[in-house]
Chains A and B, each alone.
Chain A
Amino acid sequence: MTVPSVAEQERPTTAPGGDRPTVLDVRGLWKVFGQRADRIVGTPLAALGRAELKRETGCVAAVRDVSFSVRRGEVFVVMGLSGSGKSTLVRCLNRLVEPTAGEVLLDGEDVLGYAGRRLRELRRHRFGMVFQHFGLLPHRRVLDNVAFGLEIRGVKKADRLARAQEVLELVGLAGFEGSYPDQLSGGMQQRVGLARALAVDPEVLFFDEPFSALDPLIRREMQNEVIRLHHEVGKTMIFITHDLSEALKLGDRILIMRDGELVQMGTPDEVVGAPADDYVRDFVSDVPRSDVLTLRWIMRDAAPDDPLDGPELSPDTVIRDAARTVLSAGRPVKVVRDGTLLGVVTAAEVLEVIAGPGGRD
């Protein structure tokens, strides 16, 4: 059996870990569409804005000099409005779109140099992708759809069907093996798409707006499903979305794009608590800050007259979760990490966040 089963996967210990190794390192990535696309990067033309570039050269820069790195086991969300270049960005990583310039290092090796057989092997064994419109094969049963990646890899029929069955159970589709995609609802079809990507046991999973075509209830269900799967199989995931709440819910870290450029990259609370510019600020203005920000963002230094006999909380506690403790304590709550007092939080700070006018400054 060439495919390790799900049970053998390493489980992640904690979600965002700064100490874990980098899997994917993207450096100075460019994608320019147009006739003379290769003659723009590295010239003064590259500094032009979108409209000027279009006027001068007829080219469109969908991704402009984007760099980031993804750590093993992390859920990395790329967020932006439509046309911001996020889908192009993710397609550059597995080369469905050929980047114009830059480096994509997988475990330190640049995959942009790969061609032909090596590129196929890369896609067959190390990357998996889930698509917005599923891309299922309507003439095949669900089970055969899930086994498709293994089939093109050349896995024997009995083995690949057994593995497909296993993954179908993992995504909660046991009993639908013999159905055809058209017989399933949108949410179930996307589970099939998810299972197909998981079946090849990839190191990195790409999600290209996988839930945008689903209705809100199903979307939430699928988001929870992804969180559950992430806990169970611990894959590195790169997740594209235009939905901020989805990004905040799923992402260990979020990269915000506009017009092909990286605007801000950080953890959800960094994005909400310290927007990099007005664009991001406007974006996050409707987010209930108490759901995202942690105590670190509102704690103040302990004043000399503060009583320090209150309860202790970690700085990573989300405000909403801390609210009950802080409000009922009747005195400042200590924010402590590893026995060191970082600051205190009182009811005043918590109320300002919760009751403040949308958290606006």
Chain B
Amino acid sequence: MVALSTTVTRRFPPRKYVAGVVVVAWILLWAVLNGRDTLPLGGAQLTTVHTRLGEAADVIDANRNSNPLFLYLVNYIRLFLDTAVTFVQALISQPSFGRPVPLVGWLGVTGVATAIAYLYGNRKVAVLTAAGFASFGLLGLWEESMDTLALTLTAVVLSLVVGIPLGVWAGLSDRFNRIVTPVLDFMQTMPTFVYLAPLTLFFLIGPASATVATMIYAIPPAIRLTAHGIRQTPPATLEAAESLGVTGGQALRKVRLPLAKRTIVVGINQTIMAALSMATIAALIDAPGLGKTVLKALQTLDVGTAFNAGLAIVIMAIVLDRVTSAASRRVEIAHRTGRVGRPLLRRVEITVTAAVAAVLVYLSHTYVWAAEFPGDADLGSYVRRGADAASAWAQDALVAYTNGLKNFITSALLNPFEALLGGSPWWLIALAAAALALLLAGVRAALTAAVGCGLLVALGLWHDSMVTLASTLVATLLVMVLGVVLGVWMGRSDRVDRVLRPVLDAGQTMPAFVYLVPILGLFGATRFTAIIAAVVFAAPVSVKLVAEGVRGVPHTVVEAATAGGAGTWQLISKVQLPMARAAITLAASQGLIYVLSMVVVGGLVGAGALGYDVVAGFSQYQLRGKGLAAGLAIVVLGIMLDRIMRAAAARAGSPTASR
């Protein structure tokens, strides 16, 4: 295959020139045919496919209580999940059992959380936990925070109960691993908003759908990391155990699982973070909690309220992340040097801490002052007002810069892309896409491109898809510019790495909703805002991947080039970037996936097209079918672009071996 392609390139002019010719031909034809066959569809217009999809949804609705699949399976799952979430809510967030307050009040919850942080983490994260939980009350968001926590915890527990055994299985069985890996890939790359709507068809709007959505997003890291941990048991250790005559069960319980503990705890951390970010997003399908507050505020452009709730989400993310990280470090230390402290001392520590927490729980169960967070300590209103004022000031003072940036990117990048993609006849784009895919990525990719374009046309959302594609490409381009510039900088300098890395980590762990707020404050509700939000979401991954690639260039090669008299710029352009090519293509494809997963969020803040279609499908009954079709269109776009990019990267990167 490789040999074949090299001989072909020798006989014909290089592919990139042919590709250039294709692009030029496309632009020329666009100039002639502009506006013809673009298949536009108005906001409230529907095609037969959309009506059918809406009808199919109605059929599911109508048969929910008669179809055996629902009657004996789906409805039970829904009932179980609803009950589980409601139970945790009754414990910590909602009035229950005839009481005006939940079973355990703020003091009890804070006490238990702090005790857990202390026993599994350390003193520092215990203090952080106490402060974090107190701040939920101080911000005036105790109940909402506890709702989010209840949903997150339920989803995390269920994810771990299902995920860890599956992970063990995948770790032990190559065959199961081969089956499960592509499924996990798909679960993680599918834009999260896309499966929210179909889920509500099965589990209705509410906690059950929210839990399932959260689990779909949160289970892959639990399975993956458990399997990885089980798999990486040193063969020497395993062989030694085998020579002593262990059974399969003993090898798992006494050797593999204890050795995999660290990795599994890291998986738990990732599962929790994923669950939290999804639990807030699930507000779109009426999941209770902070996400709902943010969502409502976004819809009314109430920056202050959105910021306040966003702050609470960030605090929760930080607390959960730090506590689980501290717990995994503790496991790590125990792994290296044995148990921390002496067993007797530890037992005393556990008993005392648990006793204190129990007393706090009792107090908060019995006394009103410990159950309901005192309302007079309301920091929330100050935060809201402050955020409003800051946003107003920023819009006034920075308007010249933000507008400049907005106008520049809009007119220099966004408009041309949108004009070309939105203005060309659909068949021209399909032809050009297939031709480019054929040249850059091979026959299979060309087929993918053709089939993908066909599907988009069939879904009746061609024009919207092209508009979304234009924004997606612009956002990906910006992500890659940021990724390469910052990534190279970070990869070359340890100091920059130390400064940037925590910022990137925060960007990755922070739920997407949160930074929409300040961006919305700065740029107003436009498609540009959606692009910036997508860039903020996607850039950290790309920057990290590029930095990793640059760092991975062997030291000796850099030294040799330097000794040969290469300047800094030559070093970057001739050695480090070419050698990091595999990492850069990976960064581009990951960036693209991340950008696509933000399309629906973009729909919330002013981007039109597919994102808007999905959002409108949530809220308007008659647009339900169109929303489902738009979700499918996003998936089609994602799979199509991902496949083509991977194939192109594999072809381009074949001499340097993919990583």
Chain A interface residues (CB < 8 Å from chain B): 94, 96, 119-125, 127-129, 131-141, 148-149, 151-153, 178-180, 182-183, 193, 196, 200, 206
Contact = CB atoms under 8 A, between A and B. Distances in A.
Interface in B213-264: 234, 236-247, 250, 254-255, 258-259, 261
A133 B255 CA distance: 16
B336 interface: yes
B336 A180 contact: yes
26 contacts: A94-B243, A120-B245, A123-B244, A125-B245, A127-B243, A128-B243, A133-B236, A134-B240, A135-B237, A136-B237, A137-B237, A137-B241, A137-B258, A138-B335, A140-B258, A148-B254, A149-B244, A152-B244, A152-B246, A152-B254, A153-B245, A182-B336, A182-B337, A183-B338, A193-B240, A206-B243
A137 B238 CA distance: 9
Nearest to A125: B245
B244 A148 contact: yes
B259 A138 contact: yes
Contacts of A127: 243
Contacts of A129: 240, 243-244
Contact of B261 (A139, A149, A152, A200): A139
A196 B240 CA distance: 10
Contacts of A178: 338
Contact of A96 (B242, B247, B334, B337): B242
B336 A123 contact: no
Contacts of A140: 258
Contacts of A196: 240, 244
A151 B234 CA distance: 21
A200 B240 contact: no
A231 B250 CA distance: 34
Contacts of A96: 239, 242-243
Interface residues of B, number: 24
B244 A131 contact: no
A121 B236 CA distance: 21
Contacts of B247: 120, 152
A180 B338 contact: yes
A183 B153 CA distance: 38
B310 to A, nearest CB: 41
Contacts of B258: 137, 139-140
Contacts of B336: 138, 180, 182
Secondary structure type dominating chain B contacts: helix
Contacts of B250: 152
Nearest to A140: B258
B335 A139 contact: yes
Contacts of B237: 135-137
A149 to B, nearest CB: 4
A139 B239 contact: no
Contact of A135 (B234, B245, B334, B335): B234
A131 B240 contact: yes
B236 A123 contact: no
A134 B338 contact: no
Contacts of B259: 137-139
Given A134-B236, A152-B254, A121 B337 contact: no
A123 B243 contact: yes
A92 B247 CA distance: 19
Contacts of A131: 236, 239-240, 243
Contact of B239 (A122, A128, A135): A135
Closest 8 CB pairs of A and B: A135-B240, A123-B245, A124-B245, A129-B243, A149-B244, A120-B245, A133-B236, A135-B236
Interface in B247-301: 247, 250, 254-255, 258-259, 261
Contact of A123 (B242, B255, B337, B338): B242
Contacts of A125: 245
Contacts of A138: 259, 335-336
Contacts of A183: 337-338
A232 to B, nearest CB: 22
A137 B242 contact: no
B245 A152 contact: yes
Nearest to A200: B244
A140 B259 CA distance: 10
Contact of B241 (A134, A135, A153, A180): A135
Nearest to A132: B236
A120 B244 CA distance: 8
A141 B338 contact: yes
Which of B234, B246, B250, B338 has the most chain A CB atoms closer than 10 A to its own CB?
A: B338
A141 to B, nearest CB: 7
B255 A137 contact: yes
A132 B335 CA distance: 22
A16 B338 CA distance: 44
Nearest to A148: B244
A253 to B, nearest CB: 23
A148 B255 CA distance: 10
A312 B250 CA distance: 60
A94 B241 CA distance: 13
Nearest to B240: A135
A181 to B, nearest CB: 10
Contact of B244 (A119, A124, A134): A124
Contacts of B246: 120, 152
A124 B250 CA distance: 13
A136 B335 CA distance: 13
A278 to B, nearest CB: 35
Contacts of A135: 234, 236-241
Nearest to A150: B244
Interface string B303-335: 000000000000000000000000000000011
Contacts of B238: 135
Contact of A148 (B236, B241, B261, B337): B241
Contacts of A134: 236, 240
A131 B242 CA distance: 12
Contacts of B241: 135, 137, 148, 152
A342 B385 CA distance: 111
